[in-house]
A = this chain, B = another copy of it.
Amino acid sequence: MVTMRDVARQAGVSIATVSFLLNDTKPVTAATRARIEQAMTELGYRRNVVARALASRRTHIIAMAYPALDHRFGFSAAEFFTSAADAARKQDYHLVLWPVGNDGMELRELVGQGLVDGVVLMEVQLEDPRIGILQKTETPFAMIGRTTELAGLSHVDIDFDTTVESAIGHLHGLGHRKLVLVSGDLTDPRFHNYGPYVRTEAAYRRIAAEYGVQVVVLECADTTRAGQEAAARLMREHPDTTAVLVLNEYAGLGVASGLNRLGYDVPAEISILALLMAPETAALSDPELTIMRTPGPELGQLGTEALIRQLEGADPLPPQLVAADLLPGATIAPPRRGKTHPKARVKSGR
């Protein structure tokens, strides 16, 4: 923190003189004034009027904090971001992306600059160090996601319970009883506390148990390669599985191509339902994946609205949970009755 004393020393004048200028209590010569102002500039000293101007300054810019170096910025993330940017624009705000880490260190530096009016938090952890930083700096914020402790925190999130319920219900209705969840990798330190992984797995275990179907969870990183390996492990360890639920977007593509490469006919021999995927990602798979469509466009818009309402002093947006709806593709069919999988074979041309 730069003091008047530092400014006086730098400018080679008395503290009193600096005080005269800052408080307009006594006129000072133009030359002295220039020296002092240069010293303030060099030292980054903010006289009160500047501090006030900066503090009260509304930039009409809001930031989306997304840990882009840790979390994959895929199609779903892009949907959240672009719909948020679009919603901000419609309300005459600019939304910028801050690729700050989940630990909050960089976030602290950025909010300290008073550059934005508020922050939309993405990829929220159950206990998120970023929250305390935003509260301490009195930075308005809204979460797309949920911490465990939610008292009074503005948030919108995916309704994981309803989403998983719809997914299992749909497969169960077709006759599937041997379901497996290929979930996220909670052992990865970047994700050990990540809400969507924890909530999806918990919902799956509870609802699968309610339906009385097999409960098997395979953890898997969010890459195509990891998904392919998970597919191999799945069919090796649970060969009678008739349907796979996959949480992560790129793991889902990997499970599909992995089963394909292993010679399984999807969906005739095994069904795949991607939980929380963007249609653009589903279209990359062949056959096109049946998905629970990530409500990214809805949540990006709602999260931005929740923040802007705070900034505008409007009525707060009540917390919203949005479920993912089933978007049919070509990877779900009824299970083959009383028939186990043929030995895995390799298709011609693969």
Contacts and interface: CB of A to CB of B under 8 A. Distances in A.
Contact of A53 (B27, B40, B58, B285): B40
B50 A53 contact: yes
B61 A37 contact: no
Most B CB within 10 A of own CB, among A53, A57, A283: A53
Contacts of A75: 74
A2 interface: no
A257 interface: yes
A103 interface: no
A190 interface: no
A243 to B, nearest CB: 18
Interface string A54-84: 1011110101000011001111001001100
Contacts of A24: 21, 24, 27, 33
B99 A98 contact: no
A46 interface: yes
Given A115-B61, A225-B283, A95 B99 contact: yes
A291 interface: no
A306 B109 CA distance: 23
A248 interface: no
A85 B99 contact: yes
Contact of A50 (B49, B86, B113, B268): B49
Contacts of A347: 349
Nearest to A350: B287
Which of A37, A86, A89, A99: most chain B CB closer than 10 A?
A: A99
A225 B75 CA distance: 15
A41 B56 contact: yes
B94 A96 contact: no
A261 to B, nearest CB: 7
A286 interface: yes
Interface of A: 21, 24, 27, 33, 37, 40-41, 44, 46-47, 49-50, 52-54, 56-59, 61, 63, 68-69, 72-75, 78, 81-82, 85-86, 89, 94-100, 106, 109-110, 113, 115, 223-225, 250, 253, 257, 260-261, 265, 268, 280, 283-287, 347, 349-350
21 contacts: A24-B27, A24-B33, A41-B53, A44-B57, A54-B54, A59-B113, A59-B115, A61-B115, A63-B96, A68-B78, A68-B81, A73-B78, A85-B99, A96-B96, A96-B97, A96-B99, A97-B99, A115-B115, A223-B283, A257-B284, A287-B350
